[in-house]
Structure 1
């Protein structure tokens, strides 16, 4: 199993990597909030164009992050994330969609897959779970945005299955990185969420802990379980175990910062 570690690039941007991905030469990264141009409450490396931050500052931040990871910012493909379970295949024709302008992002989508070398996929997060997927055999990558709705709808599982359909991916070959998000220590949910969880997870009781009149939900384990369910080996899934709500000095947290905050980005390319 790999590890998740933070590193600082020469341009002073801090970001995280999965060592199992790095060992294969997969260019990827999960940004922090450190090393950018945005001012409060988005300080400083806000990568979300839909937050109310200055668009030019966000574009400068995206360029810094891509430079740190070693990918071309003008080629980045992003999505209009709506907390759904739609997975879209990205081709050369999509290069640059949403990179600089939010309205150009792929509509109504929360997961992207591609087998095009050098084509970066990037999604944005502030407590929701980044799920990065690598198939080193069929040569394909994917990325999912898994908030509670996406997690309950098994978007990570659907992303791997879409890779299987489009690229002949064998789930047993996949490496997965589950990035920083709100942890079971802080993610309190109500009966509405629990009732939806029960529909898709036979082991739902293992994913929650009663807390007062609510429950604390483990999004990390829910995503790991749905991947194991389709044959992704447990020992190829790395969970970074970093809670964004507990670490607002490093990451953005929608819940801990009362909805007024920036977005980290997760990026991956072959």
Structure 2
């Protein structure tokens, strides 16, 4: 069953990780992924662009963030994010960090592709147009986190870095952590060359041998140095190697490139497009 459920009548458009909300008292955990519709941005960022770095009008982005936060039961002052660089650095969000990056890029956590917190009322967000959003929740410690995993973050094992950071900061044990892999470009659409595949091979396909990787559909060799790569599945194997139980991993079937009417796609849109946001936060009681 698809874990990211489309809220068809919702404006702005949302894809909600409903299972996690149902598993917490009074739906205390809010987590999910935005679509591309229901905002105020104009072409080519139409219409729910949520990132500053793409060239959209700043005022429209702020309005889109206000609309999105309000629809989730949060405010713009709760919206907290990093300036992503396709790296593996993870920022720890304290109460005094609430709202960093909500109004501009300079106040965001710099050079940061992952965020973690255990502060209720903080809304963690990160931005996407094909890369893989990773979600983390420890129901024991109450910590939550997000990680942005393009191919560089994937081969850098940002999922493993997040598990280690949650253990260090909050005493989280991997077997207690719930994770989810959100909407992103699928193996159906993500063609890469030997430059990328060599880096994937360097990390052992997320812990599998080349033979196991070939059998598990992590990639399809198209010949002539071209491959169809499954970043979602590689991240799933990295999570398992980091100690996450397989039954604690939710994985989407949504492909951002195939579903261009629902999502921005860097590849489908030729590089000039908006960005969706992943989000996770604990509502104040």
TM-score (norm 2): 0.91
Provide the residue aligned with 2:248 in structure 1. 236
- Are the aligned partners of 2:2 and 2:252 in contact in 1 as well (CA < 8 Å)? no
- Are the aligned partners of 1:29 and 1:69 in contact in 2 as well (CA < 8 Å)? no
The C-alpha deviation readout for 1:99-152, integer Å capped at 9, x for no partner, is 011121110010000111111111000000011111011110000000000011
The C-alpha deviation readout for 1:62-104, integer Å capped at 9, x for no partner, is 1111111111211211101000011111111111111011121
- How many residue pairs end up in the alignment? 269
Counterparts of 2:267 and 2:219, CA distance in 1: 18
Provide the residue aligned with 1:217 in structure 2. 229
| 2:180 equivalent to 1:168 | no
Report the Cα offset of residue 195 of structure 1.
1.0
Provide the residue aligned with 1:130 in structure 2. 133
Provide the residue aligned with 1:17 in structure 2. 16
Please, which moves more after superposition, 70-79 or 160-169?
A: 70-79
Counterparts of 1:189 and 1:89, CA distance in 2: 33
| 2:278 equivalent to 1:266 | yes
Provide the residue aligned with 1:3 in structure 2. 3
Provide the residue aligned with 1:184 in structure 2. 187
Q: 2:152 aligns with which of 149, 152, 162?
A: 149
Counterparts of 1:8 and 1:102, CA distance in 2: 31
- Are the aligned partners of 1:15 and 1:30 in contact in 2 as well (CA < 8 Å)? yes
Q: 1:35 aligns with which of 30, 33, 38?
A: 38
Report the Cα offset of residue 29 of structure 1.
2.4
Report the Cα offset of residue 2 of structure 1.
7.3
Report the Cα offset of residue 27 of structure 1.
1.5
Classify 1:179/1:75 alpha carbon distance in 2 versus 1 (closer, same or farther; 3 Å).
Answer: same
The C-alpha deviation readout for 1:162-194, integer Å capped at 9, x for no partner, is 001110011111111111101000111111111
Provide the residue aligned with 1:110 in structure 2. 113
- Are the aligned partners of 2:134 and 2:180 in contact in 1 as well (CA < 8 Å)? yes
Counterparts of 2:16 and 2:177, CA distance in 1: 17
- Are the aligned partners of 1:124 and 1:263 in contact in 2 as well (CA < 8 Å)? yes
Please, which moves more after superposition, 242-251 or 65-74?
A: 65-74
Counterparts of 1:180 and 1:138, CA distance in 2: 26
Provide the residue aligned with 1:93 in structure 2. 96
Counterparts of 2:186 and 2:101, CA distance in 1: 29
- Equivalent position SS for 2:81: coil
- Equivalent position SS for 1:102: coil
- Are the aligned partners of 1:28 and 1:69 in contact in 2 as well (CA < 8 Å)? no
Counterparts of 1:44 and 1:111, CA distance in 2: 25
Q: Please, what is the CA RMSD of the aligned residues? A: 1.4
- Are the aligned partners of 1:6 and 1:17 in contact in 2 as well (CA < 8 Å)? yes
Which 5+ residue runs of structure 1 have no aligned equivalent? none
- Equivalent position SS for 1:177: strand
Q: 1:65 aligns with which of 53, 57, 68?
A: 68
